[in-house]
């Protein structure tokens, strides 16, 4: 089924997304909430993905980011015991609207509220990251197994997304960033951040907002590669009942270091 999902994502990108990249007309970019953009490409891609994925698995439900923006009650479908598609039609919309990379498309298949399939597709480089529960994670067809060699606190490299943090917490984290080996600027695109973690260019990524369409696909990818996705308090991330404050790490040991260095 993963191959069909990738095919659907590619066809949607070629039909709807890429023709509008750096080619959006006036009025095709709007602010759906302060600082949160949506484009005509987001909406049209979600319509196409919704139809194609629902047809791929008859009887399945669909939860899309833009559908939830229009009707928050759509989000309750994630509690369904059956199959539910979770769609982020364009992740990194701010980048896309500005004619910049990165941006990507993300899909997860949920069963009983748990991700069982996930695909992250970046149309411009054509990168595919995919995972199936119990079958591992792959980037462009190559299986990923994360390295668990111990890391010292002063060796930590990671992304700290400060944009949406409450002011007090932002001040705390920014004061502690010098304790890291390297604080990598966030790219405002989870569809790139998760593949970068899988490719082990950093040890962790810290996010404030934990929306299911932003993190359910990547959470499955990380867990199948041996990583962890946890709330600030150490609870495992639950996309059906997400809470703000999320740390994505290559293992529990790194999570413990991140908490001690940045959050304690």
Please name the residue ranges forming H helices in 103-233: 167-176, 190-198, 212-224
Separation CA 10–CA 61 (nearest Å): 21
Structure tokens belonging to residue 219: 């959470």
Separation CA 240–CA 22 (nearest Å): 34
Separation CA 73–CA 125 (nearest Å): 35
Helix, coil or strand: residue 15? helix
**Binding region:** 65, 88, 90-91, 214
Helix, coil or strand: residue 250? coil
Q: At what angle do helices 40-56 and 2-12 cross, to 10 degrees?
A: 150
**Binding region for Mg(2+):** 65, 88, 90-91, 214
Beta strand 204-207 pairing with 228-231 = unpaired
């Amino acid at each position: 089924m993963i191959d069909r999902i990738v095919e659907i994502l590619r066809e949607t990108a070629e039909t709807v997304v890429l023709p509008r990249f750096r080619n959006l007309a006036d009025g095709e970019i709007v602010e759906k909430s302060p600082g949160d953009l949506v484009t005509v490409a987001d909406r049209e891609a979600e319509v196409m993905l919704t139809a194609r994925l629902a047809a791929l698995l008859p009887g399945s439900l669909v939860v899309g980011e833009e559908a939830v923006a229009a009707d928050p009650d759509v989000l309750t479908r994630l509690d369904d015991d059956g199959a539910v598609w979770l769609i982020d039609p364009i992740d990194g919309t701010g980048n896309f609207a500005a004619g910049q990379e990165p941006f990507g498309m993300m899909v997860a298949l949920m069963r009983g509220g748990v991700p069982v399939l996930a695909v992250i597709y970046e149309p411009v480089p054509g990168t595919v990251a995919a995972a199936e529960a119990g079958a591992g994670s792959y980037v462009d067809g190559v299986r990923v197994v994360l390295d668990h060699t111990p890391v010292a606190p002063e060796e930590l490299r990671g992304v700290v997304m400060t944009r949406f943090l409450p002011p007090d917490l932002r001040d705390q984290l920014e004061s502690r960033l010098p304790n890291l080996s390297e604080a990598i600027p966030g790219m405002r695109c989870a569809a790139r951040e998760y593949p970068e973690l899988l490719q082990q260019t950093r040890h962790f990524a810290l996010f404030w907002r934990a929306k299911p369409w932003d993190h359910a696909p990547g959470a499955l990818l990380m867990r199948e590669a041996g990583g962890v996705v946890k709330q600030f308090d150490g609870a495992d991330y639950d996309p059906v009942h997400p809470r703000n404050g999320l740390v994505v790490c290559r293992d529990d040991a790194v999570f413990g270091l991140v908490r001690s260095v940045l959050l304690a």
